[in-house]
Amino acid sequence: MRREIFQEIEIPQGVEAEVEGNMIVIKGKHGENRKKFNMRKLKIGKKDNRIFIGSKVATKKEKRLINTIAAHLKNMIKGIEKGFEYKLKIVYSHFPITVELHEKEAVIKNFLGEKIPRKSKILSNVDVKIDKDYIKVFSSNRESAGQTAANFEKATWIRLKDRRVFQDGIFIINKAGKEI
CATH number, domain with residue 15: 3.90.930.12
- Collapsing DSSP states into helix, strand and coil, what is residue 149? helix
* Residues 60 and 92 grouped into a single domain: no
Q: Mean pLDDT over residues 31-39, rounded? A: 90
Reported as a single tens digit per residue, the pLDDT across 49-99 is: 999 999 999 999 999 999 999 999 999 999 999 999 999 999 999 899 999
* Residues 39 and 89 grouped into a single domain: no
Domain boundary among 47, 81, 115: 81
Three-state secondary structure readout of 65-117: HHHHHHHHHHHHHHHHHCCEEEEEEEECCCCCCEEEEECCEEEEECHHHCCCC
Rounded to the nearest angstrom, the gap between the alpha carbon of residue 155 and the centroid of all alpha carbons in its chain is 18
* Residues 35 and 114 grouped into a single domain: no
Provide the domain limits for residue 154: 84-179
* Residues 88 and 171 grouped into a single domain: yes
* Residues 12 and 23 grouped into a single domain: yes
The pTM (predicted TM-score) of the whole model is: 0.89
* Distance of alpha carbon 105 from alpha carbon 77, whole angstroms: 27
